[in-house]
Amino acid sequence: MKYTFGVKNNSEFYIQHNFLPTETELRFENVDELKKYNLGRSYLLENCLQIPTKLLNESSLLEIGPDSGENAYSAASMGANVTCIDANPKSIQHLKKLFSKSRYENNLSKTYVGDYLDTYVEGKFSFVFAEGFLHSVLNKEKFVRKIESNMQIQGFFITSYYDQFSIFGDLLHSSIFRTLVKSDLGLESPYDNLEVAVDYGEDIFLKKWQTKKHLRSLRTWILDVLLNPTMSFDRTIDTEWLLRLGNSIGLHLWQSWPNLKRFNNYEWHRDMKSPDELLEVSIQHYHDRVLENFFGILLPEPLEKTRSRSRNHDLSSKLLEINKSLSEQNWSKVSLNVKSLISDLIAEESKTPTQIFSALKMTLAFAELFLIDDFVEIRQILSGQSEKFSSESIFFLGYWGHPNHYSSYRKCW
Ligand SMILES: C[S@@+](CC[C@H](N)C(=O)[O-])C[C@H]1O[C@@H](n2cnc3c(N)ncnc32)[C@H](O)[C@@H]1O
């Protein structure tokens, strides 16, 4: 089946190809499996997003896009009364089955099948969850405004999405995969023969898949990540944009992963800031730390703040250029940008030992993503200059990229 692009959100892709992107093998009637799952959810909610799970007890929760329903079920087991909406009918069917005759059957209050943007959802909730798909929605502003209208005052909104940086790893995998499908299977596009392409993906990615524990199947990951047309740079969310929109409609950043608030801020007891001032602090912090979050390493505090800010800005613009070129499958541009990024990092004004140190650390971190031999090899494959590809190279096996950006917002008025 040929695939049509320009979809409204990723549900259309799931419906067209008849799969649930997050379906797991978990059996929640086994209490140990549920406990283990709940530990993961508690870590996310409490440690990353500063939301005590106790607040879920007797709360009203709207989950948009629950897919196979594990998160809704987990929240119900913590006492939440759950309402769910998903545009994929198969998702709501699956979710109802999960709840039916379970201990938490009565915690499922209501379900809707439909696009959230086009469906009237009754009520105001103390929690709204919209995880793993906000980037895929075309009209993001309308979507967030509607969420706000479904929230109680003091309620929390929790979301996760591909931001402009965190999409890198998945884009890289998808780019490698699509190129190999073309060169090895002779398919102009994987959608020309999806079954064959997915089978081939299983050959390439099986060993890599086995290096980590996963809840979903390799096949589902291939479809949802490598072949999902909404996984593109153009759809990613600019976190600054979401922070500003939220602030303008009364949804204030509560906490996030990566953290957008300054640690050890010792001015808080003298200098209480207004919501607008706090927003600017978070946005500044985001730009100051975005490279650090991308590379996953701590950078030394720069000595010259203004200078280092403009340097960070230049470097992060280059990273965005790399992601954009990957998304457009323009590999020669990616390779140029990687080269110039690394040489910029090395040539970094070598004034103070701290700056040299920080430049070196970043260069090494980036070079590690592109271990030189693998990088040359992958670049050659993607530009059609080589047919040799080792799906067993250390780089390929070991690199998994970043989790999506997670954040919680509180409705303050
Ligand atoms: C990638 S899955 C994420 C599932 C789950 N929230 C998680 O994070 O594990 C995205 C889900 O959102 C649903 N979805 C996407 N856009 C939607 C929309 N506009 N309205 C309702 N559901 C939507 C999809 O059908 C799918 O079930």
Tell me which of 74, 86, 115 to substitute to probe ligand 1's pocket, judged by most ligand atoms within 8 Å of the beta carbon: 86
Ligand 1 within 6 A of CB of 246? no
For residue 207, report the distance from its CA to the centre of ligand 1, in Å. Answer: 28
Q: Are 19 and 223 in contact (CB under 8 A)?
A: yes
- Alpha-carbon span 175 to 183, nearest angstrom: 12
Lowest mean pLDDT among 6-15, 215-224, 322-331: 6-15
For residue 87, report the distance from its CA to the centre of ligand 1, in Å. Answer: 7
- Work out the average pLDDT over 100-113: 97
- Alpha-carbon span 16 to 228, nearest angstrom: 11
For residue 129, report the distance from its CA to the centre of ligand 1, in Å. Answer: 10
For residue 357, report the distance from its CA to the centre of ligand 1, in Å. Answer: 43
Ligand 1 within 6 A of CB of 10? yes
Confidence of residue 358 (pLDDT cuts 50, 70, 90): confident
- What contacts 24+ positions apart, CB below 8 Å, involve 194-202? 194/1, 194/3, 194/17, 194/227, 197/227, 198/222, 198/223, 198/227, 201/177, 201/226
Q: Does any domain span residue 44?
A: yes
User: Ligand 1 atom closest to Cα of 88?
Assistant: 25
**Of 67, 88, 77, nearest to 7 (Cα)?**
88
- Work out the average pLDDT over 244-260: 94
**Which SS3 state, helix, strand or coil, does residue 194 take?**
helix
Tell me which of 82, 96, 133 to substitute to probe ligand 1's pocket, judged by most ligand atoms within 8 Å of the beta carbon: 133
- Alpha-carbon span 330 to 394, nearest angstrom: 24
Q: Are 165 and 233 in contact (CB under 8 A)?
A: no
Q: Does any domain span residue 397?
A: no
Instruction: Determine the pLDDT at residue 4.
Output: 44
What is this structure's pTM? 0.92
For residue 226, report the distance from its CA to the centre of ligand 1, in Å. Answer: 17
Q: Does any domain span residue 123?
A: yes
Domain range for residue 38? 10-162+406-411
Q: Which CATH number covers residue 57?
A: 3.40.50.150
pLDDT at 307 over 90: no
Q: Does any domain span residue 52?
A: yes
Ligand 1 within 6 A of CB of 221? no
pLDDT digits (tens, 9 = 90+) for 54-81: 999 999 999 999 999 999 999 999 999 9
Structure token digits, residue 73: 């079920």
Q: Does any domain span residue 247?
A: no
Structure token digits, residue 380: 């050659």
Q: Does any domain span residue 55?
A: yes
**Which SS3 state, helix, strand or coil, does residue 406 take?**
strand
The count of structural domains within the chain is: 1
Q: Does any domain span residue 156?
A: yes
For residue 93, report the distance from its CA to the centre of ligand 1, in Å. Answer: 14
Instruction: Determine the pLDDT at residue 376.
Output: 55
pLDDT digits (tens, 9 = 90+) for 372-389: 555 555 656 555 555 556
Q: Supply the residue whose CA is at minimum distance from atom 1 of ligand 1.
A: 132
Confidence of residue 133 (pLDDT cuts 50, 70, 90): very high
pLDDT at 192 over 50: yes
Q: Does any domain span residue 23?
A: yes
Q: Supply the residue whose CA is at minimum distance from atom 19 of ligand 1.
A: 115
For residue 11, report the distance from its CA to the centre of ligand 1, in Å. Answer: 6
